[in-house]
Amino acid sequence: MMAKKHVRAIFPGSFDPLTNGHLDVIERGMKLFDELIVAVGRSPVKNQLFTPEERVEMIAELLETKNMPGVSVESFEGLTVEYAACKKADVILRGLRSLTDVQYEFQLAMTNRAVAGIETIFIMTSEQFGFTSSTLIREIASLGGDLSNLIPKNIFEHLKKKIQ
């Protein structure tokens, strides 16, 4: 009988801020993999509200309150495939919300496999989070809208402080 292989996955993103849609993917992904690293990317082209350090801190706080064994959070710079290789990840986990996501993520997954030989696993986000994006969350927050059902409570508290 063959021994079960330990499978490490990374879930990369900007998470600025992390939404309930992201959390949904994390919770479902942790059931599929032995280890899941939420990889907070640094993007020079995105206008980000929170620093990478703040995002890691908020996500770590959330993971601690949710008791999510096997899930950790780190920040990284550079190409996702290089980070995945550095972490000896077996797979990249990505969430899908819409047909637009499918087109973009399909191209990215094919490129990652061609360049680095790493597979991508997709999880469709739950229906109630299909419209949610960090960009939309930041916009609603800047206009004083209620986000309490779209982002985790601790993230909501950090966001309120940040935009005041």
Q: Which of 21, 80, 73 is nearest to 52 (CA)?
A: 73
Q: Would you state the structure tokens that stand for residue 82, as one six-digit string?
A: 């290089």
Number of residues written out for the chain: 164
* Residues facing 86 on adjacent strands: none
What secondary structure does DSSP assign to 109-138, as a single string? HHHHHHHH--EEEEEEPPGGGTT--HHHHH
Angle (nearest 5°) at CA 95 between 97 and 65: 115
Residues serving a catalytic function are: 22, 46, 97, 134
List helix spans (H) across 8-92: 20-29, 52-66, 80-86
- CB neighbours of residue 122 within 10 Å: 15
Q: How far is CA 159 from CA 10, 33, 56, 97, in A?
A: 25, 30, 14, 23
